[in-house]
Amino acid sequence: MTGSGDREPEAWSVVAQNLPEHARNAIHTDAGARAAGFPGALVAGVTTYAYLTHPLLGAWGLDWLAGGGCEMRFRSPVFAGDVVRCTPVPAGDDEVAIEARVGDDDRARAVVRAWRNDHRPAPHRNGEPLPDYHVVLDGDYGPDYGVRAGDDLDVCPLAGVVHPAVWPALANNIFHQHLVRGPWIHTRSIVSHRALARAGADVTVQSTVVDRFSRSGERAIVDMTVHADGLLVAHIEHEAIVSLG
């Protein structure tokens, strides 16, 4: 299935699962989640986001990856094995919200509010700089992130461009390296796409911690700028509970 770029987003469902690389955060294992008071493994927020992008990629295609954007918010956990319904909800001109619902629960576990064209200026906020992160866009950060998570949409693999979930996945890795202590939870991100990123590109992520505060644990907000082969491809504002204690 490929995205046409000119359709309305359609509902879609999938059985949620964790990818092997997420086991490094104990909250995505049964043992670690139970130790933190949950009934079983929480599915990574970036994977729930990947599911929520299915209706967007199916309708808007590569145009959205080249110049659109979104804000994702995670309200309550999705657990491994849950059947997640990704349901579009009108949100205004040039915008749509995709809600993740499970079972008979009408409350959205997560919401992505997306816009087809993102003309907002890049953020320029002062804060605590983190070391630059360098990586090649392949393997865990390649076009098939969605496919590996159970999505049958082939827009990104066919085009040879990285899946949109790669950007918050990169942000999660930076948090893992520099900010978290023990199990942690990704809570919110804003992603602005500036250009397509080709598979195999060399990426540099520049990051600045712009806020730290306490709410249901210790939280951090980080601004990130992503360049692939020297081309600006994304801006990210990433928030997480970095310590549950």
Confidence of residue 5 (pLDDT cuts 50, 70, 90): low
Sheet containing 128-136: order of strands = 12-15, 83-90, 95-102, 110-115, 69-74, 185-193, 231-243, 218-228, 202-214, 128-136
6 in a domain, yes or no?
A: no
Higher pLDDT, 38 or 238: 238
Distance CA 104, CA 93 (A): 30
Number of C-alpha atoms within 13 angstroms, CB side, residue 186? 29
Confidence of residue 3 (pLDDT cuts 50, 70, 90): very low
137 in a domain, yes or no?
A: yes
Kindly state the percentage of the chain with pLDDT values over 90: 69
Confidence of residue 6 (pLDDT cuts 50, 70, 90): low
Side chain identity at residue 160, one-letter code: G
Beta strands in the chain (DSSP E): 12-15, 69-74, 83-90, 95-102, 110-115, 128-136, 185-193, 202-214, 218-228, 231-243
Number of independent structural domains in the chain? 1
Torsion sign (Cα): 189, 193, 194, 199: positive
- Mean of all residue pLDDT scores within the chain: 91
Cβ 102 vs Cβ 87: under 8 Å? no
56 in a domain, yes or no?
A: yes
Q: Which residues contact 195 (CB under 8 A, 6 or more apart)?
A: 66, 67, 228, 231, 232, 233
2 in a domain, yes or no?
A: no
pLDDT digits (tens, 9 = 90+) for 105-159: 778 999 999 999 987 777 779 999 999 999 999 998 999 999 999 998 999 999 9
5 in a domain, yes or no?
A: no
Distance CA 236, CA 211 (A): 14
Cβ 14 vs Cβ 84: under 8 Å? yes
1 in a domain, yes or no?
A: no
Higher pLDDT, 91 or 89: 89
Write phi, then psi, for 166 (nearest 5 degrees): -60, -35
Q: What is the mean pLDDT of residues 43-58?
A: 94
- Local structure of residue 214 (DSSP, 8 states): E
Q: What is the mean pLDDT of residues 194-206?
A: 97
Q: What is the CATH number of the domain that holds 16?
A: 3.10.129.10
205 in a domain, yes or no?
A: yes
Q: Quick one: pLDDT at residue 60?
A: 94
By residue range, what is the domain housing residue 44? 12-243
- pTM for this structure? 0.90
Q: Quick one: pLDDT at residue 160?
A: 96
28 in a domain, yes or no?
A: yes
Q: For residue 57, give the H/E element and its range.
A: helix 54-60
Lowest mean pLDDT among 62-76, 117-131, 163-177: 117-131
The three-state secondary structure class of 206 is strand
Whether residue 168 has pLDDT greater than 60: yes
Write phi, then psi, for 157 (nearest 5 degrees): -60, -40
